[in-house]
Amino acid sequence: MSLGFQVNSLMSTSASPEERVQVLILGSGPAGLAAALYAGRAELNPVVLTGLEVGGQVTLTEIIENYPGFPDGVKGPELAERFKKQAERFGARLVMDVATEVDLKQRPLVVKTYSTTYLADVLIIATGASPRKLNVPGEEEYTGRGVSYCATCDGWFFQDKDVIVVGGGDSAVEEGLFLTRYARTVTIVHRRDQLRAGPLLQRRARANPKIKYLFNTVVEEILGDGEQVTGVRLKNLKTGEVYEKPIDGVFIFVGYIPNTKLFEGQLELDERGYIKVHDWVYTNIPGVFAAGEVADPVYRQVITSAGMGAAAAIAAGHYLDEVLFSQEQAQKASESAS
Ligand code: NAP
């Protein structure tokens, strides 16, 4: 099944080869891979552009304890691998490539990558979200040299070291707890006087003697010796006191930013940059659906993202059926008129 749209690509002057697909999925986190599974089982021949890594943020999570079906928890990379295998079993094709340009006014929809121009009947956007930066001096300079946004990836390097975790939400506390496996102390630096994280995580953190707190405190600068982080300049927001704290690592968990730059000016986004959806997964452009954290600033769970992915694929099937049905009707009408 392929829709009989006329190809009228703005990008057809490009040298990259064109590939015609029915359902193109951007992103390979839980939303993208669940969409691929459902679209595969519906025989919609989905192609998934995985981005630079397959699995999305879930692969950065040590253990996931709240995905049903895994009573003892499951390692993030293992869950991602299971999602991938299951989608591939039903015919989804995963391509390690990155969308660099889209044109959603065209029919078929045009998505350009480093190597190929895809012409798609349906697009499911599941590009997820990326860690928000603190935007303080030293942050960029020392990223990978003491500054990190992923405890699972980098925690091991901080055996018996002293680290700070910036932020007060679930991510900060969960990742802080994980870091206590390696670090000597983990100090949670939070700008308010209480954590935002849920009660279970807070209880676990309180019970852990390695975790310390600096409330009403912000990081003003990350300090280093040119090679590695050596400390931070902190400010107490209550007293105004500014002081330096020697530290080996700075883990930053202050929320996420949706990956929607590619769609600015083409899709309706909210004031924070999330794709606006109605009926869970429908964007303002017919045939373009969004799933997972790129369109969900609220729930942001593996299960909710996977659920949105499944819904997007089902909605894509309905859309293709409707378009094909109206094309057939139009064909019949023109045949009986002639
Ligand atoms: P979040 O809930 O938005 O929390 C971000 C934290 O960073 C807040 O404490 C915020 O402070 C702080 N912050 C934001 N910008 C800052 C800045 N410029 N400087 C200093 N601090 C800053 O983000 P999250 O913790 O990543 O969680 C996101 C969502 O995922 C939530 O819905 C959460 O429940 C979910 N999640 C769930 C789990 C789980 O269920 N196990 C694990 C991880 C995440 P304020 O408190 O002052 O706003």
Is residue 300 in contact with ligand 1, taking CB distance under 6 Å?
yes
Is 224 in the same domain as 298?
no
CB-based contacts of 24: which residues, under 8 Å, 6+ apart?
A: 46, 47, 49, 109, 111, 118, 120, 122, 123, 124
Is 43 domain-assigned?
yes
Q: Does the annotation mark 72 as catalytic? A: no
Look at ligand 1, atom 7, and give the residue with the nearest C-alpha: 254
Cα–Cα dist 303/196, whole Å: 21
Which member of 72, 97, 103, 153 is catalytic? 153
**If you measure from the C-alpha of residue 71 to the centroid of ligand 1, how many angstroms do you get, rounded to a whole number?**
26
Three-class SS string for the chain? Answer: CCCCCCCCCCCCCCCCCEEEEEEEEECCCHHHHHHHHHHHHCCCCCEEECCCCCCHHHHHCCEECCCCCCCCCEEHHHHHHHHHHHHHHCCCEEECCCEEEEECCCCCEEEEECCCEEEEEEEEECCCEEECCCCCCCCCCCECCCEECCHHHHHHHHCCCEEEEECCCHHHHHHHHHHCCCCCEEEEECCCCCCCCCHHHHHHHHCCCCEEEECCEEEEEEEECCCCEEEEEEEECCCCCEEEEECCEEEECCCEEECCHHHCCCCCECCCCCECCECCCECCCCCEEECHHHCCCCCCCHHHHHHHHHHHHHHHHHHHHHHHHHHHHHHHHHHHHC
- Whole-angstrom distance, CA of residue 59 vs CA of residue 182: 20
pLDDT at position 48, please?
A: 98
Same domain, 164 and 282: no
Q: How far is CA 295 from the centre of its chain?
A: 10
Decide if 140 is inside a domain. Answer: no
Q: Is residue 139 part of a domain?
A: no
- Ligand 1 atom, smallest distance to 190 CA: 21
Question: Which is catalytic among the residues 72, 97, 121, 150?
Answer: 150
Please tell me whether residues 241 and 284 are part of one structural domain.
no
Final residue of a domain: which of 197, 231, 252? Answer: 252
Atom index in ligand 1 nearest the CA of residue 167 equals: 7
Of all protein residues, the one whose alpha carbon is nearest to atom 39 of ligand 1 is 170
List the one residue out of 71, 73, 28 whose CA is nearest residue 46: 28
Q: Does residue 237 share a domain with residue 169?
A: yes
What is the count of structural domains for the chain? Answer: 2
Q: Residue 191 belongs to what domain range?
A: 147-252
Q: Establish if 284 belongs to a structural domain.
A: yes
Residue 338 in domain = no
Consecutive sets of 10 residues in the chain, 338 residues long: mean pLDDT of each? Answer: 40 72 98 98 97 89 89 95 98 97 97 96 97 96 93 91 97 96 98 97 97 98 97 98 98 96 98 97 98 94 96 98 83 83
How confident is the model at residue 65, as a pLDDT? 87
Across the beta sheet with 217-224, the strand order is 217-224, 229-236, 242-246
Catalytic residue among 121, 154, 162, 296: 154
> Is the beta carbon of 235 within 6 A of some atom in ligand 1?
no
Instruction: Indicate if 120 and 8 belong to the same structural domain.
Output: yes
Are residues 269 and 214 located together in one domain of the fold?
no
Q: Are residues 16 and 58 in the same domain?
A: yes
Which ligand 1 atom sits closest to the C-alpha of 135? Answer: 18
Q: What is the pTM of this model?
A: 0.82
Tell me, yes or no, if 154 is annotated catalytic. yes
Q: How far is the CA of 170 from the centre of ligand 1 (A)?
A: 6
Residue 14: what pLDDT? Answer: 52
If asked whether residues 174 and 287 sit together in one domain, one would say no
**Same domain for 127 and 11:** yes
| Residues contacting residue 231 through CB under 8 Å, at least 6 positions apart | 223, 224, 244, 245, 246, 247
Query: The domain that contains 189 carries what CATH number?
Result: 3.50.50.60
Residue 136 lies in a domain: no
Query: Which residue's alpha carbon is nearest to atom 15 within ligand 1?
Result: 254
